[in-house]
Structure 1
Amino acid sequence: MGQKTNALGFRLGTNQNHHSIWFAKPKKYSEELQEDKKIRNCIQNYVQKKKKTLELEGLTCIEIKKRIDIIKVIIYFAFINGNIKKEDRTQKILPRIQKLTMHVEQELNCMNRQLSIEIIKIAKPYGHPNILAEYIGLQLQSRVSFGKAMRGAIRLATGAHMGGIEKVKGIIIQIKGRVAGKDRKRIEWIKEGIIPLQTARAKIDYCAYSITTFRGVIGIKIWIFIDIDIDKE
């Protein structure tokens, strides 16, 4: 029986960084951890509710950096509404960031520490597994066949890195649940290229995503192999 491990946690300290950076004493560690979870849930729920007015789509990652007097939150988005010009982004998005900051501060009730939120747009959105998982989820909810949805995601992933510094060398997409309306759950997967999951030096991005369809809950897992870090021998 194989022992499964998280592809990101397995590579912490080699080529994968922590999404939360802070120090706490053992007695307060659980409190800080719960606060991180509360911050992430609050931001995700707010973005989901205000999707149309916020004009930011594709939440990929939330980084939290804590100091004694400040909590810095960096939110990575994949897409910014095309109606906003590049030179006007800062002016138009800044008021929305301030509203988001006020909302999180009210939920957290942080009196002693200042909250700072920064938004960054990622360069190659379709090279990120979270975006591909959302794409597949929308396709499945629209009753598109799972094979067509997975092949479309692979085309997007391989096309996102063409001509870039890093190129996708391999990708695995796995779907589990009542696929294609079958009575029993099953696993369907597709692979393109190579995926060295047991190599710690390999730069592999991973995500687990779930959607609710009229047939039930379907889980989506995606592994993307970018390159091997030669420096980490």
Structure 2
Amino acid sequence: MGQKVNPIGFRIPVTKDWKSRWFARKADFGPMLREDLQIRDFVKAQLRQAAVSKVTIERFAKRVRVTVFSGRPGLVIGRKGSEIDRLKTAIADLTEGKEIYIDIREVRTPEVDAQLVAESIAQQLERRINFRRAMKRAIQTAMDLGADGCRVRCSGRLNGAELARTEQYKDGKVPLHTLRANIDYGFSEARTTAGAIGVKVWICKPKDWEDNGNASDAKARKAQKGATRRPRGNRQPKQQA
């Protein structure tokens, strides 16, 4: 079950939270859900170069709070907040004139954010970079920054091959069946001349990991973990004379 289902939706009752947080009557649920989808699509399209990881939406009566998690918050804010004002005006039109609040959260380690990693690999594939090099580089970077495990899968006509196939690389542990595991998941598509290539990324983060954590803290935790690792089985460390 854990191998097939979306890891984020699978863990919502345990370690993950909803991206839309509001309540509505049955008659209003459909229009409000459609508004959420339109807001997310619009933000993703307008901030394509800003490395947007996710967009959360909260509603309070006639107010809507949109939180954008971005790896490049400067591009989202713009010069003197010009981009924020433009986003507010456009989103207000989508929500029929409701009062809009926009919060910007910085993703300090985009190399360990599954969605941003997937989009980065997709962009490299569109620039005709070898898919194996892009996948291995992304995995190595995530592991160096403190991830417990990383798995990347690409599906499609890789390198322009005549037959579509699936290639996958993995390092560390990615326990998809463990609900308490902090698994991050991202998906993106690369539009190439040979067709669409799907990119899926699973990243297992430490339990005490914060989405806006510092990369140096992650490196320190990983170094400490490696220093205290015990030998497996009956193997004992060699005694120095």
TM-score bracket, shorter-length normalisation? 0.7 to 0.9
Higher strand share: 1
Q: What are the Cα deviations for residues 121-164 of structure 1, in whole angstroms up to 9, with x where unaligned? A: 112111101221122112212212111110111122123x3xxx
From the CA coordinates, give the structure whose radius of gyration is larger. 2
- C-alpha contact (below 8 Å) 2:78/2:84 kept by paired residues: no
- C-alpha contact (below 8 Å) 2:73/2:104 kept by paired residues: no
Specify which of 62, 82, 85 is matched with residue 98 of structure 1: 85
Give the aligned partner of residue 54 of structure 2. 61
Structure 1 residue 172 and structure 2 residue 151: aligned?
Answer: yes
Structure 1 alignment gaps of length 5 or more: 52-56, 162-166
| Structure 1 residue 91, shift from structure 2 partner | 8.5
CA distance in 2, matches of 1:136, 1:123: 19
Specify which of 128, 142, 149 is matched with residue 134 of structure 2: 149
% identical equivalent positions:
29
Specify which of 87, 90, 96 is matched with residue 110 of structure 1: 96
| Structure 1 residue 3, shift from structure 2 partner | 7.0
Give the aligned partner of residue 204 of structure 1. 183
Give the aligned partner of residue 28 of structure 2. 28
Higher mean alpha-carbon deviation, 89-98 vs 210-219, is at 89-98
- C-alpha contact (below 8 Å) 1:79/1:125 kept by paired residues: no
CA distance in 1, matches of 2:35, 2:112: 30
Aligned length: 208
| Structure 1 residue 69, shift from structure 2 partner | 2.0
Aligned runs of 1:175-194 on 2, under 5 Å?
Answer: 175-194=154-173
Structure 2 alignment gaps of length 5 or more: 209-241
CA distance in 1, matches of 2:100, 2:18: 20
Structure 1 residue 140 and structure 2 residue 133: aligned?
Answer: no
| Structure 1 residue 214, shift from structure 2 partner | 0.7
What is the TM-score normalised by the length of structure 1? 0.83
Q: What are the Cα deviations for residues 179-228 of structure 1, in whole angstroms up to 9, with x where unaligned? A: 12111110000000011101111110001111100110000000001135
CA shift in 2, pair 1:35/1:2, >3 Å: closer
Structure 1 residue 44 and structure 2 residue 44: aligned?
Answer: yes
Structure 1 residue 129 and structure 2 residue 110: aligned?
Answer: no
CA shift in 2, pair 1:3/1:200, >3 Å: closer
CA distance in 2, matches of 1:91, 1:136: 26
**Secondary structure of the equivalent of 1:8?**
helix
- C-alpha contact (below 8 Å) 1:128/1:205 kept by paired residues: yes
CA distance in 2, matches of 1:212, 1:168: 29
CA distance in 2, matches of 1:45, 1:191: 31
| Structure 1 residue 31, shift from structure 2 partner | 1.4
What is the TM-score normalised by the length of structure 2? 0.80
Structure 1 residue 226 and structure 2 residue 205: aligned?
Answer: yes
